Every structure is written in structure tokens, then in C-alpha cells.
Structure 1
Amino acid sequence: MGYFRAIIYALLAISVSTITTNAAGVRPGQIKNLVTFGDSYTDVVNVGDGGVAWPVYAARYAHLDLFPFARSGATCSNNLTFRPFPPVFESQLPDYFSQKQSLRLTPQETIYTLWIGTNDVGANALLTGSDAASIVDVSACMVNWVKVLYESGARNFLFQNMIPLQTVPMYSPNSYPNKFWTDVRNTTEWTVLMTELVLSGNAITRLMLEALAPTLHGAHIGLFDSHALFTDMFNRPSLYLNGTAPLNVTGAVNTCVFELHGTTSDCVLVSGSARDSFLWFDELHPSEQADRIVAREVAASIQGKKNRWTTWLS
């Protein structure tokens, strides 16, 4: 990761808006296999949205074979932001490499996705303090995922950046004690800091990916702007949410208000088609309807269709 740290300070002075690309990305019909890495936003077993995870929908929409390695609770590396869950570098990538030969995936027909960062920048990590890492280190780890897989033979990548986490109930100014955090906190301070961490991390990873892309011969690297997509869903929910209840971007399908420092809670669970009126499933995770939108847009990118949320850097 030293390579990335060396270039980041020189790149930060460059405005992202001045960088353009004419990269075409993957061809229509090229991709047959989808390999996913990340945290609970992507885990297909311990599903964060309370329903079906987006990779299952994306594979269905784009007619792909799915190979899921994302694990709930993960960070990019436990050496940077430790959590007692399987991280990308110390668990998910080794798991993939142990199976790589038996999977027999053709590089040209396979795309690899990574959606990570929510736990890295969150409570019990960068937001509340880490002695081992900064947002630069975490961003470098995320981008290094591309380099490591490329060196193993992978050639097609879709990098999903962090959503506007200050809009999820957990990190909003009006947050409350919940199952993810019951201690005292300054919710306004958390909102401001989370906004800065996400914006900074997304800008750094984009600059690093733009610097890395020309050095990886034959690779196709797409940047999927989850931040912009979720910002649009938050600001214009009627374009995305379609449930039978009033549209809701501040509450959640599964809301649990805990006593401060306590273990008891008051929970409300929305059922049926009304669930699709919510942007969030609980205080931290997108809803299943939001994930259907993610899946739809990711599938379009993988199929080689023009997509307003994806920029191909190579």
C-alpha cells in the first residue's frame, strides 16, 4: 500500500472534475460471472436489507453466475480498522484464492465488485478514533484490492464508493440510541464528521483509481457512484421507492429505539408492500427496494449499457 500513499498527496491537488475518460468499459454480452466482495451491504447470507441482497438481483437481471465472498461486518483490513468479522484482505481474498482454481473463471468473462467502507469509517472505527489508520490508509486498502486481483489474473472491476452515510438513521443529526450504538454521543458532530470522512474517502479512492488504471494493461475499471445514486434516492424518492405507505427516507423498515446504555428497546417492523416505501431497512442498511435499484444499475453497467452512475476509467 506504500505505492498508493506515495502518490495520493500529489494527486489531491488535482480536481476530479478536470479528469475525463473515453474508456468504453466492458462490452455488451462480455460478462458471464459476477464475483462480489464487501460487507453486509453485499453479503448474500447475512443479508443487511432484510430480504434479498443486491448481488442476487443483479445476477438475475444480467443473467450472470454469482460467486459471493462479501461478509457482514467486514472492513477492508483488520490491520487498519479491527472488527471481529471477516475483512476483505485477511479473509475474503484468501477465501477466493483458495477456491480460484476450482472456480475456473475466465478472466475476460468475469467482473469483480467491491463495496466496502461503511464499517471502516463508522462507529468503533475511524469515526470514533483509530490509532492504526487514517482515511488515506483505508482508501489505499480499498484500491489495492484492484491491484491484488489484477496480479492474480482478474481484468474487469467495478468499484462501488461509499454512500452518503450521514443520511442513514445511525449517523443523521436526529439519530437515537439503537442496536448499533447505545452510548451517549453528539449526533450533530457525528453527522459532520461522517460527511467529511465519506466525501474525503470517495475523492481519494477516485484519484487513486484514476492513477492506477493506466498502469494495468488490459484491465477495465469502472467506478460506480453509489454516493450520487443514494443522494438522488434520498432527494427524489418518488423516482425509486414504490411501496404502499408514504415514502420515507429518514425512518426505517425495522426501527429499534434503545434505552440509553440499556438493552431494552422499542421496535417497530413494517411488513408487506409498505416496506418498499423506505430507503433504509434499519438504522444502518439500505432497504431491499433500494438494493433492487443498486442491482438494476450495476447490472446495466455489467451488461455494457450506458449508465449515469458508472464511469469507466479504463
Structure 2
Amino acid sequence: MFVLGIFFVLVTTTTACWTRTGLSPWRLSRFKYLVTFGDSYTDESRLEYFIKHGGVGPPPGTILAESALIRPWARYVAQYADSLSLHNYAVAGAVCSNEITPRHFTTIASDFPSVLEYEIPAWLAEHSLSPSGNGRRSHDLGTNTVFAILIGTNDLGNAAFLTDSQVSGRLLHHYTECVYRAFDAIYAAGGRNFVLMNTVPLHLAPQYAADGTPATRYYPDKPSNLTQVAARIQRDTASVNEIFRYKTPYELLIGQRYPGSDFALFDTWRMFTDIYTNPHLYLNGTEELTVDDWSHHCSVAGTDCVHRHNNTSPDSFMWWDELHPSEQVHRVLAGEIVNVLDGSSEYATYWSSR
């Protein structure tokens, strides 16, 4: 009876949801502002600001520098869609909530700033500025602003769920619920257009892969059983992605958690897997293409760093270092996010409660 009830509700709400083949309000020309939250996969220089200012974050309205190392996907989206203005609140090292998987960063004598406790409030503080500040209040959050969250690499990795280092009693569903709580706060402020990017296949990253590297600067106490590490993180990332897959339409269409809003669920996992499986379709360096090695090698202590091929062919690699994607992968991801915003990405499923 319960299953039939769910089926009935979904059938009666089919006019409020669609997939790639249906009518969609997602049009790139509609958006003027892209607001992003996340970790090192998205950060440009916000953590660097914390480091340079004794653990204190930038005041509201501060214009931060672009990344001097790897230009992330979010900046490329703004470049590819020049009508978009990027407002990036991601912090390298971040988790969704420090009440679930806190990770201490000695350099700033504090936990890494998280999405829920820092990034969302930082955006709210800037949004509340008067128009005489940086004009954030002029954003029409319901129509021309889109919000994207890519988080999970640190939450599910070592020093967190992978090594059972989360706060006692916290489970994977607490992490996924945290992501929706972030959307709750944005929704309460007026946001109505959301891109939820699911977790990457971390078991393919050299830091966690079964045929990957031993201890790294990010995982200095890595155990010797690499297969066990890969299997555990593959299980956890796949599990939370399944939660995102089913919970997103449930919250919109049945739970009515975000009435009048549009969600795009982006399959980051599948896109990264496609790159890993068919690198010749995505990587374009001049040296042999590789998805198992990485470009920037450092010792476990984080010293003695060298680049493969003297950094003459970084686009030959899927990975910049043991954990982070290369800039070429960021470009590929950015291209697909542009397609998401235009309603045409093969990696996205679109849902609406309008």
C-alpha cells in the first residue's frame, strides 16, 4: 500500500518534474549570478585568506583573488558563460558541517571553515549588504541567481567517515541531510534555483585507489591495505549518491520542502568515471594520457615537489595531485555545468516544484 501511495503521488506530480527529454525552464541566458559552495574542488583563494589573516575570514564584500594554482570549474563556468558573475564561497578543506566531521587545521588554529557554519553565513552576510555596498541585494534570487554545492571529498575521506573519525553517532545520512540544510538556508533567503553536484568517485583518485599510492601528504597514516581503503570509500560515496538520487525528488515533490523551486542533480560521479574510462575523449596533453598517475608529486611531508614532464603537459593527466583533479578536468566539468544551466546536460536530472 505504501508503494502504491508513493506511485500515486509521483504520477499526480508529473507536471511538476521533468528529465532531459521534457520541458525545462533551465536556460543559460536566464542566469546572471552563480553562487558556489564547497571545498578545494571549488575554492579559489578563500582558505589562503584565512591563512594570511590568522584564521580570520574576509569581511563581507571583500573581492578575493582568483586562484594562482589551478583555475577551478566555477571560474571556468563564468568564463565560458560571460554573462555570469561568479560569487564563490568555497573553502579548501571544508566539510558540510563541523558538527558531523570536524577537521582541525593547525595553520589557522581552528577547524576548516565548513559549508553550514561558515560558507552559507558568509554568503548571507554579503547578500544583506545595502546596495551601496557591493549590490548583492539587487540579485533576484528566485529568477537570475543559481546556487551550486559540490561537497563531500573531505566529509567521506580520511580524518572523517573513511577512518570512523566523525562525531560519535553521526552517520552518512547526517552528511546528506546537512547538504539539504544548506539549501534550506538559501531557500529561506529567497533562492529558488539549485544545482546539487553529487560526490566524485574517490576510489579512482590515486590517494584512495586500490592500485594507488601509499601514504600521501593528505593521508600520512594511510594503512597498507589499499584494496580495503578503496572498497570502503567507494561504498560510502556510492551510498550517499543514491540518497541524493532519491531524496531530491522526494523533498521537492512529496515532502514539499522547497515549493516553487528548481533543482538540477548533477552526476559528478558518472562524469569523472567517463573521463577515467575514456581519457582520450577528454584529456588533451602532448604526453601519454594517464588517469592513474598525477602531475604534481610531493613527499609525504609536502616537500620536494616536482612536476611530471617538467609541467609541460599538465593536460595529459586526470589528476593534478593524489586527490585533486587536473585543470583540464575542471574545464570539462565547467563545460558540463554550462550545459546544466542551459537545461541540456546528459549528466543532469531536473526536478521542479513550481
Equivalent residue for 1:116, pick from 151, 162, 173: 151
Q: Which has the larger radius of gyration?
A: 2
On the 8 A contact 1:80/1:132 being kept in 2, the answer is no
Answer with 73-82 or 55-64: which moved more. 55-64
Aligned to 1:134: 171
Q: Give a deviation string over 1:125-163, Cα, whole Å, max 9, x none.
A: 000002241111101111222222112100100011111
Q: How does 1:1-314 map to 2 (within 5 A)?
A: 21=19, 22=22, 24-45=24-45, 50-63=69-82, 64-83=84-103, 84-102=111-129, 103-104=136-137, 105-107=139-141, 108-129=143-164, 130=166, 131-174=168-211, 175-185=213-223, 186-214=225-253, 215=256, 216-258=258-300, 263=301, 267-270=305-308, 271-302=310-341, 304-314=342-352
Structure-2 change in CA distance of 1:48 and 1:237 (3 Å): farther
Structure 1 residue 77 displacement after superposition: 0.2
Counterpart of 2:236 in structure 1: which amino acid?
Answer: L
On the 8 A contact 2:200/2:268 being kept in 1, the answer is yes
Aligned to 2:56: none
On the 8 A contact 1:249/1:279 being kept in 2, the answer is yes
Aligned length: 293
Distance (Å, rounded) in 1 between the aligned partners of 2:41 and 2:286: 24
Structure 1 residue 273 displacement after superposition: 4.4
Structure-2 change in CA distance of 1:176 and 1:305 (3 Å): same
Give RMSD over aligned pairs: 2.1
Distance (Å, rounded) in 2 between the aligned partners of 1:277 and 1:283: 15
Distance (Å, rounded) in 2 between the aligned partners of 1:68 and 1:176: 33
Structure-2 change in CA distance of 1:139 and 1:27 (3 Å): same
Distance (Å, rounded) in 1 between the aligned partners of 2:67 and 2:267: 20
SS in 2 for 1:112: strand
Distance (Å, rounded) in 2 between the aligned partners of 1:34 and 1:225: 19
Structure 1 residue 20 displacement after superposition: 6.8
Distance (Å, rounded) in 1 between the aligned partners of 2:67 and 2:209: 19
Counterpart of 2:100 in structure 1: which amino acid?
Answer: L
Structure 1 residue 212 displacement after superposition: 1.3
On the 8 A contact 2:214/2:222 being kept in 1, the answer is no
Structure 1 residue 195 displacement after superposition: 0.5
On the 8 A contact 1:55/1:66 being kept in 2, the answer is yes
* TM-score normalised per structure 2: 0.78
Answer with 40-49 or 97-106: which moved more. 40-49
Structure-2 change in CA distance of 1:145 and 1:49 (3 Å): farther
Distance (Å, rounded) in 2 between the aligned partners of 1:251 and 1:187: 16
Structure-2 change in CA distance of 1:217 and 1:23 (3 Å): farther
On the 8 A contact 1:38/1:115 being kept in 2, the answer is yes
Structure 1 residue 49 displacement after superposition: 9.9
Distance (Å, rounded) in 1 between the aligned partners of 2:112 and 2:306: 27
Structure-2 change in CA distance of 1:74 and 1:48 (3 Å): farther
Structure 1 residue 50 displacement after superposition: 3.5
Structure 1 residue 28 displacement after superposition: 4.1
SS in 1 for 2:319: coil
Distance (Å, rounded) in 2 between the aligned partners of 1:137 and 1:23: 33
Counterpart of 1:144 in structure 2: which amino acid?
Answer: R
Q: What 5-or-longer segments of structure 2 have no aligned partner?
A: 1-5, 7-16, 49-65, 104-110, 130-135
Q: What 5-or-longer segments of structure 1 have no aligned partner?
A: 1-10, 12-18
Distance (Å, rounded) in 2 between the aligned partners of 1:49 and 1:250: 25
Distance (Å, rounded) in 1 between the aligned partners of 2:344 and 2:250: 23
